[in-house]
């Protein structure tokens, strides 16, 4: 009787939770790549800025966004600035916006909790959409291998 070699030999098995976390991380990384490609296709308006100017613009924009978390124009601007950082292979100065990030995340959490209370069917729908987006991404990745 021959023994079959396991594809996971030598690697720890992933729990369902850790696989879900990896899937979400992969999805978010793919989304950031898509955002950067879309930003680049529009001409990289922030390319002329120095790294320091880019950092200052991003910090200022994130602070404004934390004060107006529902402002879609500010969110789009922050996404473009973050995309420019990504295209330069540098990280935004997250350490400079800790309190603003905390406020922004608290706002998002509060809105999500309200949505869970007021419209649980919408939350279920959102989860299903996210699961489908992740499944679609995995299928695209599998086809490209």
Under DSSP, is residue 130 helix (H, G, I), strand (E, B) or coil?
helix
Burial of 39 (0-12, 13-18, 19+ CB in 10 A): buried
Q: Give the chain's mean pLDDT.
A: 84
How many other C-beta atoms can be found within 10 angstroms of the C-beta atom of residue 119? 12
Spatial neighbors of 17 by CB under 8 A, at least 6 apart, are none
pTM score, whole prediction = 0.71
What is the average pLDDT across 54-74?
95
Domain coordinates in residue numbering, the chain = 16-144
* pLDDT digit string, tens, across residues 85-130: 999 999 999 999 999 999 999 998 888 888 788 888 887 888 788 7
Which helix (H) or strand (E) is 80 found in, with range? Answer: helix 72-87
């Amino acid at each position: 009787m021959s023994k079959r070699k396991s594809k996971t030999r030598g690697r720890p098995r992933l729990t369902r939770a850790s696989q879900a976390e990896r899937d979400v991380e992969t999805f978010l990384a793919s989304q950031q790549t898509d955002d950067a490609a879309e930003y680049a296709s529009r001409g990289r308006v922030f390319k002329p800025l120095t790294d320091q100017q880019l950092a200052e613009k991003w910090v200022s924009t994130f602070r404004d966004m934390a004060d107006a978390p529902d402002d879609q124009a500010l969110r789009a601007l922050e996404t473009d600035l973050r995309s420019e950082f990504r295209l330069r292979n540098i990280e935004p100065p997250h350490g400079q916006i800790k309190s603003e990030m905390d406020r922004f995340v608290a706002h998002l959490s509060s809105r999500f909790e309200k949505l869970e209370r007021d419209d649980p069917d919408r939350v279920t729908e959102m989860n299903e959409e996210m699961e489908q987006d992740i499944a679609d991404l995995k299928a695209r990745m599998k086809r490209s291998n």
